């Protein structure tokens, strides 16, 4: 099933939610209890894919600004990352966008929608983007790290390997270069 089958809407403060239920209670609670507050406080923007025929929310994701910053404890990682950036443009921080939440309804799971959403985000931040953004970051639930790895994300560090979430990143430059060829 393709995302083009659905309506794409940014969440507004007066939006009337349609039914949505993912496998993760925290992701369900964020949508219904927190997403509008994050929007009102200018902390994150949530976007929805709606199935207009079924009158259901298919999936949602929220985005917020972030940065990839130098960590002296992770010097080898930083050196690998910097090798991908021309010498004149190297910094101690790089602009990024963070995926705060991403969830697909159980009714639509297993159809590749999560992967399509990641490609949608990647494309949005490499074509017609309004700000500079080199990386996508995510604090992935441990159970979701394989999904992000499958979609080209990598870990920042090994320090968090036993944590409930793992900090991961995706470098947008190779993605853009591949699309531009």
| 160 contacts 166 by C-beta, under 8 angstroms | yes
Is pTM beyond 0.75? Reply is yes
pLDDT of residue 70: 81
3-state secondary structure of 157: coil
Residue ranges of the chain whose pLDDT lies below 50: none
Residue with tokens 């927190």: 34
Closest listed residue to residue 104, CA positions, set 167, 64, 145, 61: 61
pLDDT of residue 91: 85
pLDDT of residue 150: 98
Query: 120-169 pLDDT, tens per residue?
Result: 999 999 998 888 899 999 999 999 999 999 999 999 888 898 999 999 99
- Residues forming beta bridges with residue 17, ordered by sequence position: none
The total number of structural domains in the chain stands at 1
- Domain region containing 90: 3-180
3-state secondary structure of 148: helix
Q: CA-CA distance, 159 to 26, in Å (whole number)?
A: 24
Q: Per the structure block, which two tokens stand in for 54?
A: 């079924």
CATH code for the domain in which residue 33 is found:
3.40.630.30
């Amino acid at each position: 099933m393709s995302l083009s089958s659905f309506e794409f809407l940014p969440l507004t403060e007066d939006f009337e939610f349609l039914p949505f239920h993912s496998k993760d209670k925290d992701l369900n609670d964020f949508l219904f209890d927190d997403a509008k507050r994050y929007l009102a406080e200018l902390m994150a923007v949530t976007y929805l894919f709606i199935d207009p025929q079924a009158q259901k929310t298919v999936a949602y994701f929220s985005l917020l600004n972030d940065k990839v910053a130098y960590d002296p404890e992770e010097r080898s990682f930083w050196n690998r990352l910097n090798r991908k950036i021309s010498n004149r443009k190297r910094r101690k921080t790089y602009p990024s966008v963070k995926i705060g939440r991403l969830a697909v309804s159980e009714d639509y799971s297993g159809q590749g929608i999560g992967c399509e959403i990641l490609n949608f985000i990647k494309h949005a931040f490499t074509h017609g983007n309004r700000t500079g953004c080199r990386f996508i970051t995510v604090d992935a639930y441990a159970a979701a790290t394989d999904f992000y790895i499958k979609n080209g994300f990598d870990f920042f560090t090994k320090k968090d390997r036993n944590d409930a979430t793992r900090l991961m990143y995706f470098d947008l430059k190779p993605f853009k270069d591949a699309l531009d060829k």
